[in-house]
Structure 1
Amino acid sequence: MRLSKFTWFLTALIAIIYTATLIVIQIESPYHIQAESYRRWRETYIIKQSANRAFVNTSNNRAKPVTLSEGQGYGLYITAAAGQHGWAKSRDFDQLLNYYLAHRDYVGNHHQTPTYLMQWRQYQKNGHWASDINSATDGDLFIAMALHQAARVWPKRAGYYRNLERHLTNDILAYEYNPHTRSLTVGDWATSKSKYYRLMRTSDVAPTFFDTFYQSSHDQRWRIVKDGMLDHLADLSAQHRTGLVPDFAWVTADSAKPVKSWTMASKNDGNYFANACRVPMMLANSKDPRAQKTLTRMMKFFSRRSYVSYVTAGYTLTGKKLNHHQSASFSAPIFLAVSRNRNHGYDNLFSSQKFIFSKPLPKDNYYDATLTTIAAMEGMN
């Protein structure tokens, strides 16, 4: 009888410990994934150029580093998010910020006018660093948003960060905005004299960013940009049953159409590819009905693909696979979107896209690693 009681007690104790362990794992696992993703991403992709400067290496080769304004924007954005958890300090943020400030772009016929936009690429040439002129809007948007977040994370530096945010958002509107199309251009080089003045990058449709910039500046143009770009994105999404949108589109004041191959960067410029794959991430936190409708159309397409097989790295706008392999660059934004929008008819994507966290962050794929880190930081809160 004593043995029976002891056995019962031991069994109950084991059950309690097991249950408690499961609860702890469920609570701590997302935190652990976030912390490890940030730590590994920082160790792999951040390179210190000097005591006060650091950059995000986008080349996947530390011996031949390349910096993109897009990557620097992501780096600042991720570091500000890490700062909320105490994993990054303002000095870490400032090192990345100082690199950006040292590579601001110039505009004008002779590139004589300084701006707060970042030059789009830096690399080593003949043993020296070179920096390519012209900006890229996606990088500038993330730098501006990161500055806004940093002001809240590190209050002692808030005045400095907000001042830079104001200068940068003013210059985005001054040099990367087409009032005729109600949209941001792809960079400061796409001026009214350029044939690319009406070109829109779909992943630049960032409604929550635009809301933030309006609240900070009270500049009505941010509302115009939000309305115009969401209208164009909704128009593009409605053109195909899949709801998918292209990497780039030609836009007017009230219309949008996908570009053809090789218009801007690759044969997939008119497909759902390396730029458009970020669209679910950019719409994930928006409550605007147009953003929600576009996101839902896209996510339900991916949900159906997930039931049949799996989401692959790129599609034509009619839904034909461009590849037969999975890619975290495509799956991470989808995971982030579904994690922020549960019970919308595509919850199966939460489980199917979670594979991005099943193995260590890649050390040889900046884009996959960076979008996965953003998904971890924002999709597991």
Structure 2
Amino acid sequence: MPLSRRTALAGGAAGALAWPEPAGALGSDEQDWAEFRQRFLLPEGRVVDTGNRNVSHSEGQGWALLAAQRANDQPSFNRILSWTLANLRRPSDSLHAWRWAPDSTPPVTDINNASDGDLFIAWALVEAAERWNQPELMRRGLAIARDLQRACFFNLGRRWFFLPGAYGFRNASRVVLNLSYYALPAFHALGRLTRDAAWTRIEADGLALLQEARYGRWGLPPDWLEIDLQTERLSVARNWPPRFSFDAVRIPLYLCWGGSARHVAVQASVEFWMHMEGRPIPAWTDFRGDQLAPYPANAGIASVAQLARAAREGRGAPGLMPRLSAATDY
């Protein structure tokens, strides 16, 4: 969804940027949250992915929890959390199944977690605990953080990695990563509250990994990356399209949000988007021949492009950002 002004402001001081053309006037967080709630949140607290068979994801639940907390909407927060715990909570730990599908029986057919979904749920819980003085939310959030460390932190030689899920992303020869799961501000928050240096190490190693994992004409990070367990060589992951696309576009967002707007991955992303000056930003680029998507990026990607360019140039948040109403679906 298009980013709110508060999210954008995490990139730096106030400023203005008129590129690419904004889809509408800037509105308040409360307006955007109210529209999101109306369009994508069911009364029982389930966030609906309207562009994908109306399924729900732990990531969407986590994002909605964080947004409700930031908007100080405690009733919505409680409904989202109740649905999440009742329908996605795994029986063996504090993590959550990654998908709930209304057209499946049962709706959860894979209890593997998505580490970014659990990361956002944990972050939202600990922030809500501090805002509303709810110790039980803090307990739940820190329990998720501990289980993420146990199940999704992986050591290889001199580095630690953040696995996309508890299983299915490593075998005897390789480990597969999604670098858009490295949400730096969530690492900051959980590291501060757990007082565990492992979160700082994961962040530092992730920043270093993003220095190296760059491909194609513009030196962009891929959606999916693999590391050879014997040589530690990095390459674009097999079995996924070799692209900077709907996953990797979150990398410059999280770098800016986490205070690393000068990182080379942000610079490369901005250079790619600026190369399209005067033309619509493409939804993705494929590293095979640097092919561009035949259709334009959506409003959310345009928001990240604006934020990243302004933050990289030290001009802070753009004055105008696409509104949530510009999003055609979830």
What interval of TM-score do these two structures reach, taking the shorter chain for normalisation? 0.7 to 0.9
Post-superposition Cα deviations, 1:86-115, rounded to whole Å, max 9, x if no partner, equal: xx1x22111111222223454xxxxxx611
Higher mean alpha-carbon deviation, 96-105 vs 125-134, is at: 125-134
Partner residue, 1:6: none
Q: CA deviation at 1:195?
A: 5.9
| 1:153 counterpart = 2:131 | yes
| Matches of 2:169 and 2:297, distance apart in 1 | 37
Please, which of 247, 253, 260 is the counterpart of residue 281 of structure 1?
253
| Matches of 1:150 and 1:172, distance apart in 2 | 19
Partner residue, 1:294: 265
Give TM-score, length-normalised by structure 1.
0.70
SS in 2 for 1:182: strand
Structure richer in strand, relative to its length:
1
| 1:73 counterpart = 2:62 | yes
| Matches of 1:44 and 1:200, distance apart in 2 | 32
Gaps of 5+ in 2: 1-24
- The answer to whether the Cα contact below 8 Å between 1:280 and 1:333 also exists between their aligned partners in 2 is yes
Q: For residues 191 and 319 of structure 1, do their structure 2 counterparts lie closer, same or farther at Cα, with a shift above 3 Å needed?
A: closer
Gaps of 5+ in 1: 1-28, 107-112, 367-381
- The answer to whether the Cα contact below 8 Å between 1:201 and 1:249 also exists between their aligned partners in 2 is yes
| 1:97 counterpart = 2:81 | yes
| 1:229 counterpart = 2:206 | yes
Structure with max Cα Rg: 1
Q: CA deviation at 1:168?
A: 0.5
| 1:309 counterpart = 2:274 | no
| 1:356 counterpart = 2:325 | no
| Matches of 1:91 and 1:196, distance apart in 2 | 47
- The answer to whether the Cα contact below 8 Å between 2:58 and 2:114 also exists between their aligned partners in 1 is yes
Structure richer in helix, relative to its length:
1
Q: CA deviation at 1:55?
A: 1.1
- The answer to whether the Cα contact below 8 Å between 1:40 and 1:361 also exists between their aligned partners in 2 is no
- The answer to whether the Cα contact below 8 Å between 2:88 and 2:100 also exists between their aligned partners in 1 is no
- The answer to whether the Cα contact below 8 Å between 1:273 and 1:314 also exists between their aligned partners in 2 is yes
Post-superposition Cα deviations, 1:212-271, rounded to whole Å, max 9, x if no partner, equal: 21111121211221122111111013x4451311100013586422113x34xxxx2x20
SS in 2 for 1:198: strand
Q: CA deviation at 1:127?
A: 7.6
| 1:35 counterpart = 2:13 | no
Q: For residues 281 and 41 of structure 1, do their structure 2 counterparts lie closer, same or farther at Cα, with a shift above 3 Å needed?
A: same
- The answer to whether the Cα contact below 8 Å between 1:302 and 1:311 also exists between their aligned partners in 2 is yes
Quick one: which amino acid aligns to residue 329 of structure 2?
N
Q: CA deviation at 1:308?
A: 4.2
Quick one: which amino acid aligns to residue 77 of structure 1?
L
Quick one: which amino acid aligns to residue 80 of structure 1?
Q
- The answer to whether the Cα contact below 8 Å between 2:95 and 2:148 also exists between their aligned partners in 1 is yes
Q: CA deviation at 1:128?
A: 6.3
Partner residue, 1:371: none
Partner residue, 2:118: 140
- What is the RMSD of the two structures over their aligned residues, measured on CA atoms? 2.9
Q: For residues 298 and 213 of structure 1, do their structure 2 counterparts lie closer, same or farther at Cα, with a shift above 3 Å needed?
A: same
Partner residue, 1:47: 42
Q: For residues 39 and 164 of structure 1, do their structure 2 counterparts lie closer, same or farther at Cα, with a shift above 3 Å needed?
A: same
| Matches of 1:190 and 1:295, distance apart in 2 | 29
Q: CA deviation at 1:46?
A: 0.4
Q: CA deviation at 1:294?
A: 2.1
Higher mean alpha-carbon deviation, 132-141 vs 325-334, is at: 325-334
SS in 2 for 1:326: coil
SS in 2 for 1:135: coil
| Matches of 1:35 and 1:350, distance apart in 2 | 18
| 1:59 counterpart = 2:50 | yes
| Matches of 2:322 and 2:191, distance apart in 1 | 34
1:331-346 equivalences under 5 Å are 331-339=302-310, 341=311, 343-344=313-314
Count of equivalent residues: 301
The one of the two structures with greater contact order (alpha-carbon pairs below 8 A, sep at least 6) is 2
| Matches of 1:216 and 1:153, distance apart in 2 | 14
Aligned sequence identity (%): 20
Partner residue, 1:171: 147
Partner residue, 1:217: 194
Higher mean alpha-carbon deviation, 199-208 vs 313-322, is at: 313-322
Quick one: which amino acid aligns to residue 59 of structure 1?
T
